[in-house]
Structure 1
Amino acid sequence: MTPTVNGTPLTRHGSRVSTLPTRPAPVRAATTHTAKPAPAPATRRPVPRPNVTPAPTIHTMIVCLPDDLPGEALTAHQLDKHFGVTGTLTAHFWAVPGLRLWQRHDIIGLRRGQPAPCAGGPVRLLDLPGMRHAAAVGAGIRHQIWQHAVHGTRPATGWPAFEARHLANPDRYPYDAATTDFHAQPRVNAMRLHAATNPGAGQPGIGELEMYQAGPLAYQHYSAATAVVGDALLTADGRKLAPVSDALADRVTYLEQALRYLDTLAPQQRLIAVAL
């Protein structure tokens, strides 16, 4: 047996032999099978709601009568038959001043007065320039009243924006919430208070909030144009011109189209106004 000195083995001649370190037995790495994560359940993407545009408010429609339309067709039940319009004739137009006796039979629904209101007639016998001028003057007065009523309030958002938001998501934004938010604006409250304490026709209405906020001259132009083309127009060939919504931009687009069409009409073209 080989003696050891200080823990080191000696050979038979007495020299030291360095001890080789023992190699540890190789250890096989355990093969672990990592479980694949289960696929996440497919999540349904919310279906985007289509943009809903509120329908425009149309009180008065101007109808261009075809040349061959008989006069007896201008009754309530015949309007629906010939034009698809459910309404009645309304005294929206003015007859020209100094209307001759033989010209009266060409005027539809002529009433007494000065200016003489009527439901329509040939363009040459309708005082369209006078109607536009009077509407612009009245609009200027209303805008001055409005400015005093809302003095000190911030610009407000018009009702069409709240209505569009409601229609886009009626469950999350009910109609009552939209109405409350619109009426909660200080400028709208100022207009409502003025109307409540000054009853009567011709007072600024909250339905024209955007038009008033556009400025006095813009509001005069808007009122003058609306006086002659109403809220919608049915052309002689059956095309309907109308604003997409009650928003000011859509109303202005309609007025541009309707006024351009009105300028192309012949003097003998007959117009009537229908209250819807």
Structure 2
Amino acid sequence: MPKPTPLTDQVVTVCFNPDADADWFAASEKVSHLLDAHGTPARRFRVRHRKLIGWLTRFLGYYLLDAARTFGAITLAAGGRKSRLDLPGMSMTAANDAIARWRAWNIHINATTKPARVWEDFLAQYHADPAKVTLAEARRRFEQQPRVLAMLAYAGGHVFDPYELSLYQAGEATYAGLYWRTALIGDALITTDGRIMRPASDSLADRFRFLNDACMYLRGLNNRARLCAVAIA
């Protein structure tokens, strides 16, 4: 099985039991010890405001980590108690953004160009015989396809990553499904008992397996458990 790529320029979600020390230093130590990496807090969690006292909780940073404010009101945080984080809202926003992007791709690219071979096919050619097909040549062959060129040339309100072509061609639900899961989890997750959950390889199938397992784990955590997002540089 291919070895996963190193965690660089990625986000790790660190989980803590309700009674554990769950500040930034504790999260940093876990990441350093388990992944041999260093990072900074990532303000990626939306904050939940209760309906009855939302006007008050909007300004209180209790049970939150590295909270950010807009006009005095808390909007984002690097982590905190699970019950204070708006996980459903995060997943819904990410799904809606991804759906809008996929539908634009479907109209402007899918409807006007023929299906193309995905990047993974050309990468396999390179791995099979690097002397015959260099990485640069594999990239050139992939990017010269009309559909890929159309994605690169598109100048509308969205950016279409041609290296996500396999994900685009898998359909709207699959495309959005990867993005709403990633919004919740990031690229790896450290459990409360110190286990590392991450994709077994860079393949989309392995990413989905990891995200499905991580989302199930996150759903099962006590609402008083705490989360912290760490961006690894």
The alignment status of 1:240 with 2:192, answered yes or no, reads: no
| 1:143 Cα deviation from its structure 2 partner | 0.9
Mean CA deviation greater in 152-161 or 132-141 = 152-161
The alignment status of 1:178 with 2:138, answered yes or no, reads: yes
Unmatched tracts of structure 2, length 5 or more = none
Highest RCO, 1 vs 2 (Cα 8 Å, sep ≥ 6)? 2
Sequence identity percentage: 34
Q: Which amino acid aligns with 2:144?
A: A
Q: Contact 1:232/1:243 (CA < 8 Å) preserved in 2?
A: yes
Matched residue SS, 2:159: coil
| 1:86 Cα deviation from its structure 2 partner | 2.1
- When the two chains are superposed, the root-mean-square deviation of aligned CA atoms in Å is 2.8
Per-residue CA deviation, residues 22-76 of structure 1 (Å, 9 max, x unaligned), is xxxxxxxxxxxxxxxxxxxxxxxxxxxxx75673876222111354335261586
The match for 1:90 among 39, 42, 45 is 42
Partners of 2:143 and 2:118 in 1: CA distance = 10
The alignment status of 1:137 with 2:96, answered yes or no, reads: yes
| 1:94 Cα deviation from its structure 2 partner | 0.6
Q: Contact 2:61/2:74 (CA < 8 Å) preserved in 1?
A: no
Matched residue SS, 2:13: strand
The match for 2:15 among 48, 54, 64 is 64
Q: Which has the higher strand share?
A: 2
Per-residue CA deviation, residues 148-185 of structure 1 (Å, 9 max, x unaligned), is 23132222233234334423432232111111122122
Partners of 1:157 and 1:123 in 2: CA distance = 42
The alignment status of 1:220 with 2:176, answered yes or no, reads: yes
The alignment status of 1:55 with 2:5, answered yes or no, reads: yes
The alignment status of 1:149 with 2:149, answered yes or no, reads: no
Per-residue CA deviation, residues 66-121 of structure 1 (Å, 9 max, x unaligned), is 54335261586784257633221111111102362795131111111477111111
Q: Contact 2:68/2:74 (CA < 8 Å) preserved in 1?
A: no
Partners of 1:241 and 1:165 in 2: CA distance = 30
| 1:132 Cα deviation from its structure 2 partner | 0.9
Larger Rg belongs to: 1
Q: Scaled by the length of structure 2, what TM-score is found?
A: 0.82
Q: Which amino acid aligns with 1:60?
A: V
**Paired residues, number:** 222
2:82 aligns with: 123
2:221 aligns with: 265
| 1:261 Cα deviation from its structure 2 partner | 0.9
Q: Which amino acid aligns with 1:108?
A: L
Q: 1:55 to 1:106 in 2, by over 3 A?
A: same
Matched residue SS, 1:152: coil
